[in-house]
Amino acid sequence: MSNNKSRYNIRIPLLFSLTMVIGMVIGFQLKDSLRNTESKNKIDQIINLINEKYVDTLKSNALYEDAVNGMLQNLDPHSVYISPDELAAVNEDLDGSFFGIGIEFAIIDDTIRVTSVIPKGPSEKVGLVVGDAILKVEDSLVAGNNITSDRIVKLLRGQQHSKVKVSLLNCINHQSRLVTIERDEIPLVSLDAAIMLDDHTGYIKINRFSATTYKEFLPALKNLKQLGMTNLILDLRDNPGGLLNEAIAVADEFLDDKKLIVYTQGSKSTKEEFHAEKAGIFEKGKLAVLVDEGAASASEILSGAIQDWDRGVIIGRRTFGKGLVQEQFELANGGALRLTIARYYTPSGRCIQRSYAKGKDDYEEDFEHRLASGELTGNDSLAQADSAKYFTNHKRVVYGGGGIKPDVYVPYDTLLFNKSLLNFINSPSFQNALWHYYVTHSNSLKSFTTKQDFLQHFDSKELLQEMMYAYYKSNPLPPQKIILNISSGNQFELQLKASVARYLFRNDGYYTVFTNGDEMVKRALQVLKDKQYLMVIDGK
């Protein structure tokens, strides 16, 4: 009896203590729940008052979105709300495909002109060619009625294997026809080009890291190796990043021995490391990576790993400086919250994220700050006073604090500061003049059977004269000023020639011509062929 009483005396305090602990936990959770409910009620109350009392009629959804965006203003520049209307396009860009008819087009003279047909795509199967104009889609007239790109895209896209009738007029032979096209999956290609620049040097241009990037990259790399490539120029300029796993897979083809490629860590997320996992097919050849102020995120991870392991030479200008990891959370309204959860670190331990302490507006004006300081045009001066030093595999000094600083600096092309000329290149007048040149010279242009044939034998004098006339018509400048602008360098003529080559040979044609006069590519070729390559990666 006494033993039972003793056990009873022990259990009562234990039970009482346990009850108190459970009560405290429930209390804290209830307090948090009430606090969250109270906050939500405040937002709802304010929005309800606005809807009921405000002088003008407003949309409740817009008020909620403004409230969300207001909260995100206090976070980093890359934590964003994606509305339901925007989400499909954002996901499509990362997924790397959509369902459509497989053409690229331009609106010229208020008419849809086919400027490229995807090989083996739905449109090529029914005979669409560069030079076709789209007059009608089903019963909708799309020529001569102020058609927009958004509207034609909505008309041409649809469910896989659905069919659409398209009325065409060929601008070269002036024959009209009606075709029925079966929509299918169309890749959003992330490799712009994979070509040989000379007998030993390959060139690959990646425009972003989508779900299909590595699938595009690997066969391209294998093909260039079969063509005799021993040196590679990997162009990541203006590549805003994308999917981390795709950048890691590309890096894995260059790095051996389970080398660390990147790691992530945040205050609420554990450290996660990503290593090379297999034997890459280009672990030994010379490698030059081209970067600029538009290369960000996954592009910086790839170039940072190459630099830290002294695997290749980074050429160009300091990268964007985005070293934050976002996770996308789907929301009940069909939108999504892309929230920063960690930071990226290169193998040497660098966080490449630049400061956003002065606010988002200042952060977004970084290009203007670099331009004003002269960093882009000749003064290669990453502010290193507040940046920690790190060391590569060969003990070379590299810096954190804002992007990947290249090993070999190439200044910004000053042609791009010629505002009137740049505006013309991006104007409808430029597209119209280029298109009309192609249509009127199509027979002679088709005599060029290869990209190299076009590069070596195409005479661009007549093209330049026609574009000078179009430029003159679209600009109020005096003729002598226009001629000075046009002759401000060979880059404009090179741009024209490359644009015509794109009509004939798609992107491979464009880059075959353009890289021939690209100053950064020229610098890379020089570095790969002389002693500077080994001097850089050996830290000398």
Give a three-class secondary structure readout of 480-523. Answer: HHHHHHHCCCCHHHHHHHHHHHHHHHHHHHHHHHHCCCCHHHHH
8 A C-beta contact, residue 328 and residue 336: yes
CATH number at residue 166: 2.30.42.10
At residue 249 the predicted structure's pLDDT band, cuts being 50, 70 and 90, is very high
Token pair 């162009």 is at which residue?
235
At residue 486 the predicted structure's pLDDT band, cuts being 50, 70 and 90, is low
Given 40, 58, 76, the domain boundary residue is: 58
CA–CA distance, 275 with 296 (Å, rounded to integer): 20
Do 321 and 388 lie in one domain? The reply is yes
**9, pLDDT greater than 80:** no
Q: Give the range among 12-16, 121-125, 128-132, 291-295 with minimum mean pLDDT.
A: 12-16
The per-residue DSSP string of 127-168 comes to: T--TTEEEEEETTEE-SSS---HHHHHHHH--STT-EEEEEE
Domains contained in the chain, number: 4
Average pLDDT over residues 430-455: 92
Contacts of 42 (CB under 8 A, 6+ apart): none
Alpha-carbon torsion, ordered 224, 229, 230, 232, to 10 deg: -60
Written as six digits, the tokens of 366 are 């970084």
Do 264 and 395 lie in one domain? The reply is yes
Which pLDDT belongs to residue 33? 46
CA–CA distance, 81 with 86 (Å, rounded to integer): 10
Which range scores top for mean pLDDT: 87-91, 259-263, 433-437, 442-446?
Answer: 259-263
CA–CA distance, 482 with 298 (Å, rounded to integer): 41
Of residues 198 and 412, which shows the higher confidence score? 198
Of residues 155 and 56, which shows the higher confidence score? 155
Closest CA to 237 of 502, 490, 416: 416
Token pair 């009850």 is at which residue?
19
**113, pLDDT greater than 60:** yes
Do 258 and 400 lie in one domain? The reply is yes
At residue 477 the predicted structure's pLDDT band, cuts being 50, 70 and 90, is low
**236, pLDDT greater than 70:** yes
297 is catalytic: yes
Do 292 and 371 lie in one domain? The reply is yes
Which pLDDT belongs to residue 383? 47
Which pLDDT belongs to residue 57? 75
Do 106 and 177 lie in one domain? The reply is yes
* Structural domain boundaries, residue 117: 97-187
In this prediction the pTM is 0.85
Report how many helices (DSSP H) and strands (DSSP E) the chain contains, helices first. 19, 21
Average pLDDT over residues 390-406: 90
CA–CA distance, 30 with 39 (Å, rounded to integer): 14
Do 165 and 221 lie in one domain? The reply is no
Q: Which of 308, 407, 497, 518 is catalytic?
A: 308
Per-residue pLDDT tens digits for 169-182: 999 889 999 999 99
Alpha carbon separation from 333 to 40, 62, 70, 81, 88 (Å, rounded): 16, 12, 18, 12, 13
Do 171 and 251 lie in one domain? The reply is no
**25, pLDDT greater than 90:** no
Q: Give the range among 35-44, 98-107, 294-303, 493-502 with minimum mean pLDDT.
A: 35-44
Given 165, 187, 209, the domain boundary residue is: 187
**533, pLDDT greater than 60:** yes
CA–CA distance, 349 with 297 (Å, rounded to integer): 16
CA–CA distance, 134 with 169 (Å, rounded to integer): 7
Do 169 and 215 lie in one domain? The reply is no
* Mean per-residue pLDDT over the chain, rounded: 86
Which pLDDT belongs to residue 103? 95
CA 258 to chain centre: 28
Look at residue 63 and tell me if it is in a domain. Answer: no
Look at residue 338 and tell me if it is in a domain. Answer: yes
CA–CA distance, 326 with 337 (Å, rounded to integer): 9
CA–CA distance, 323 with 325 (Å, rounded to integer): 7
- Label the pairing between strands 336-345 and 80-82: antiparallel
Do 282 and 147 lie in one domain? The reply is no
Written as six digits, the tokens of 283 are 């672990």
Contacts of 325 (CB under 8 A, 6+ apart): 244, 264, 266, 340, 341, 342, 343, 344
Q: Which of 205, 259, 286, 322 is catalytic?
A: 322
Which pLDDT belongs to residue 482? 52
Q: Percentage of residues in the chain with pLDDT exceeding 90?
A: 56
Look at residue 380 and tell me if it is in a domain. Answer: yes
474 is catalytic: no
**373, pLDDT greater than 50:** yes
Which pLDDT belongs to residue 38? 53
Look at residue 248 and tell me if it is in a domain. Answer: yes
Contacts of 507 (CB under 8 A, 6+ apart): 189, 192, 193, 205
CATH number at residue 391: 3.90.226.10
Do 176 and 248 lie in one domain? The reply is no
Q: Which of 167, 297, 299, 348 is catalytic?
A: 297
Residue 297, helix vs strand vs coil: coil
**415, pLDDT greater than 80:** no
Which pLDDT belongs to residue 197? 97
Look at residue 453 and tell me if it is in a domain. Answer: yes
**24, pLDDT greater than 60:** no
Look at residue 78 and tell me if it is in a domain. Answer: no
Given 409, 444, 473, the domain boundary residue is: 409
Do 153 and 168 lie in one domain? The reply is yes
Which pLDDT belongs to residue 194? 97
Look at residue 77 and tell me if it is in a domain. Answer: no
At residue 481 the predicted structure's pLDDT band, cuts being 50, 70 and 90, is low
Neighbour-count burial of 230, counting CB atoms closer than 10 A to its CB (0-12 exposed, 13-18 middle, 19+ buried)? middle
Which pLDDT belongs to residue 243? 93
Look at residue 534 and tell me if it is in a domain. Answer: no
Do 357 and 262 lie in one domain? The reply is yes
**531, pLDDT greater than 80:** yes
